[in-house]
Amino acid sequence: MEKQEKMGDIKSRQNPVMIVVAIVLVLIFIGLVAYVSYQLGKDTGKSEKSDSDTITTATESTSSTVTSSTTESTSSTVTSKTSDTADPYEGWKTCSSKNLKVSLKIPSSFSCETEEVDTLNGTIAISSDTYDIRISNLGRGPYCGDTPDSQEDCRTEIFYSSELIGLSTYYWKDERKEIYGATKVAPSGTWFSIEYDDIETRELTNLESKEIRKILDSVELG
């Protein structure tokens, strides 16, 4: 009987201890769950922030690339259009004769004098420090005559040719004398004569030759 009472006392003392232990274990479990949940939430937040930063960076990079590409394309287009529409004769002036029905561009430093002889005939005289250019329909022929190649002492070299006019360099006994030519279309009979300093002893420089050809390129008839 006494043994049973002792066993009952032991069990009654153990029950509160077991309850306390159970409560402690539950609290520990709840704490662990809360901690794990917190860590998972923290990692998820970092991942979302990282993804957001990556998307933002990619968006900014794409926007920057598109903006840069658009700017370069626009700049290139503007430059191209400006280049295409630029006037090669900007700063030059026009020299023309109503009677000759000839018009051409010359550098602003060149002089241009026209003489209208009558209602049909005229002359244009263009001068610079280096060149003398004469355009007229008053009767005259090439330096060596109308058939220069048939003369032993005369020879010619083509200097310039277009749909409107053609000019050749004329030599007499191997000395350069004149650059001369005429219109190929109406008004027919209009001739061009070009002379320059020391023509007999030197050729035109590349710059001089380009300048004269540019003047001839600007010729308009009619």
Domain shared by 141 and 196, yes or no: yes
Domain shared by 105 and 71, yes or no: no
Query: Residue 37 phi/psi, 5° resolution?
Result: -60, -40
Domain shared by 82 and 97, yes or no: no
Domain count, the chain: 2
pLDDT for residue 21? 73
Domain span at 57: 1-86
Q: Does 25 have pLDDT greater than 90?
A: no
Instruction: Give this prediction's pTM.
Output: 0.62
Least confident residue range of 38-42, 44-48, 184-188, 203-207: 44-48
Q: What is the band of 11 on the pLDDT scale with cuts at 50, 70, 90?
A: low
Domain shared by 69 and 121, yes or no: no
Average pLDDT over residues 19-44: 75
Domain shared by 210 and 102, yes or no: yes
Domain shared by 32 and 104, yes or no: no
Q: What is the band of 139 on the pLDDT scale with cuts at 50, 70, 90?
A: confident
User: Which among 30-39, 50-59, 137-146, 167-176 has the top mean pLDDT?
Assistant: 167-176
Distance from C-alpha of 153 to C-alpha of 175, rounded to nearest angstrom: 10
Among 64, 86, 108, residue at a domain's last position:
86
Domain shared by 49 and 80, yes or no: yes
Domain shared by 71 and 13, yes or no: yes
Domain shared by 114 and 212, yes or no: yes
Tens digits of residue pLDDT in 177-188: 999 999 999 888
pLDDT for residue 171? 94
Among 52, 86, 120, residue at a domain's last position:
86
Domain shared by 161 and 80, yes or no: no
3-state SS string for 152-206? CCEEEEEEEECCCEEEEEEEECCEEEEEEEEECCCCCCCEEEEEECCCCCCCCCH
Domain shared by 140 and 194, yes or no: yes
Q: Which two tokens stand for residue 67?
A: 């903006």
Domain shared by 109 and 198, yes or no: yes
Which is higher by pLDDT, 6 or 221?
Answer: 221
Distance from C-alpha of 83 to C-alpha of 86, rounded to nearest angstrom: 5
Among 46, 63, 86, residue at a domain's last position:
86
Q: Mean pLDDT for the chain? A: 81
Q: DSSP labels for 62-83?
A: HHHHHHHHHHHHHHHHHHHHHH
When computed from its CA atoms, the radius of gyration of the chain, rounded to whole angstroms, is 50
pLDDT for residue 49? 54
Q: What is the band of 144 on the pLDDT scale with cuts at 50, 70, 90?
A: confident
Distance from C-alpha of 152 to C-alpha of 154, rounded to nearest angstrom: 6
Question: Within 10 Å of residue 22's Cβ, how many Cβ atoms?
Answer: 10
Closest CA to 114 of 145, 144, 137: 137
Residue 198: what residue type? D
Tens digits of residue pLDDT in 158-177: 999 999 999 999 999 999 99
Over pLDDT 70: what percentage of the chain? 70
Residue 222 contacts by C-beta under 8 Å, 6 or more apart in sequence? 101, 186, 187
Residue 187 sits in a domain whose CATH number is 3.40.1000
Q: Would you call 33 helix, strand, or coil by DSSP?
A: helix
Q: Which two tokens stand for residue 84?
A: 């295409």
